[in-house]
Chain A
Amino acid sequence: MRTEFRLSGSGGQGLLLAGIVLAEAAILEGKNAVQTQSYGPEARGGSSKAEVVISEDEIDYPKATDPDYLLALTADAYKTYGPLMNSGLIIVDSSVSLDAEIKARTLSVPILAAAADTVGKKVTANIVALGVLGGLSRLATRDALRKAVTARVPKGTEELNLKALDVGLGLAAQSGTPAGSLK
Chain B
Amino acid sequence: MPKNAKLMQGNEACTMGAIAAGLQFFAGYPITPSTEIAEMCSEELPKFGGKFIQMEDEIGSIAACIGASLTGKKAMTATSGPGFSLMQESIGYASLCEIPVVIVNVQRMGPSTGMPTSPAQGDIMQARWGTHGDHQVIALAPGNVKECFELTFKAFVYAEAYRVPVIVLADEVISHMREKVVLPDPSSYKIPMRAMPTSPAGYKPYGADPDGGVPLMAPFGQGYRWHCTGLFHDESGAPSGKAAVADQLLHRLDRKIEKNVQALEDYYVESMDDCDVAVVSFGSSAMAALSAVRRARKGGLKAGMLRLKTIWPFPDQAIRRLCASAKKIIVPEMNLGQLVLEVERAIHGKAEVIKLGKVTGELFHPDEIYKALKEAF
Instruction: Give the B-binding residues of A (Cβ under 8 A).
Output: 20, 23-24, 27-28, 30, 32-41, 59-63, 65
Whether B5 pairs with A38 at a CB distance below 8 angstroms is no
Contact B117–A27 (Cβ < 8 Å): no
Interchain CB contact under 8 A, A24 and B7: yes
Interface membership of B323, Cβ < 8 A: no
Which of B242-299 touch A at CB < 8 Å? 284, 287-288, 290-291, 294
The CA of A36 and the CA of B365, in the complex, are separated in Å by 14
B374 contacts partner chain A, Cβ-Cβ < 8 Å:
no
CB-based contact B366/A61 at 8 Å: yes
Q: Which of B5, B117, B178, B288 is within 8 Å of A61, CB to CB?
A: B288
Evaluate whether A36 and B5 lie within 8 angstroms (CB atoms) in the complex, with A41-B117, A60-B290, A60-B291 already known. no
State whether A27 and B173 are in contact (beta carbons under 8 Å apart), knowing that A41-B117, A60-B291 are contacts in the complex: no
- List chain A residues, Cβ under 8 A from B284: 62
B346 within 8 A of A: no
The answer to whether A35 and B179 touch across the interface, beta carbons within 8 angstroms, is yes
| Cα separation A60 to B279 with both chains bound (whole Å) | 15
- CB of B287 within 8 A of CB of A60, answer yes
Q: Does B372 contact A (CB under 8 A)?
A: no
Whether A63 touches B363, Cβ cut-off 8 Å, given contacts A27-B180, A41-B32, is: yes
User: Are A41 and B116 within 8 A (Cβ)?
Assistant: yes
Q: Report whether A20 and B117 are in contact in the complex, using a CB–CB cutoff of 8 Å.
A: no
Given A24-B7, A27-B1, A33-B7, verify A60-B294 contact (CB < 8 Å).
yes
Question: Does the CB pair A32–B294 fall under 8 Å?
Answer: no
Residues of B within 8 A of A (CB): 1, 5-7, 32, 116-118, 173, 176-180, 284, 287-288, 290-291, 294, 362-363, 365-367
Most central of A23, A30, A63 by chain B CB within 10 Å: A63
Most buried by A among B180, B287, B290: B180
Provide the residues of chain A in CB contact with B5, threshold 8 Å.
27
Residue from the list A27, A35, A36, A65 in contact with B366, Cβ < 8 A: A65
Flag if B177 contacts A62 (CB, 8 Å): yes
Which of A24, A40, A59, A63 lies in contact with B117, CB distance below 8 A? A40
Tell whether A32 pairs with B7 under 8 Å between CB atoms, given A40-B117, A65-B366.
Answer: no
B176 and A36 contacting across the interface, CB-CB below 8 Å: yes
* Contact, CB under 8 Å: A33 / B179: yes
Residues of A within 8 A of B118 (CB): 38
Given contacts A30-B1, A61-B288, A61-B291, contact A38 B117 (CB under 8 A): yes
The residues of B that contact A20 with a CB separation of less than 8 Å are 7, 178
Report chain A residues within 8 Å CB of B179. Answer: 32-35, 59, 62
Least CB distance from B358 to A in Å reads 13
**Which of chain A's residues has its CB closest to B287's CB?**
A61
A90 to B19 alpha-carbon distance, docked (Å): 43
CB neighbours of A39 from chain B (8 A):
117
Question: By the criterion CB–CB under 8 Å, are B176 and A27 in contact?
Answer: no
When distances are taken between beta carbons in the complex, the residues of chain A under 8 Å from B362 are: 38
Closest to B115 in A: A41
- CB nearest to A19 among chain B residues: B178
How far, in Å, is B362 (CB) from chain A's closest CB?
A: 8
Q: Could you tell me the distance between the alpha carbons of A64 and B41 in the complex, rounded to whole angstroms?
A: 31
Say whether B7 contacts A35, CB under 8 Å.
Answer: yes
Report the Cα distance A36→B177, complex, angstroms.
5
Is the beta-carbon distance between B287 and A62 smaller than 8 angstroms? yes
Q: How far is the CB of A110 from chain B (nearest CB, A)?
A: 29
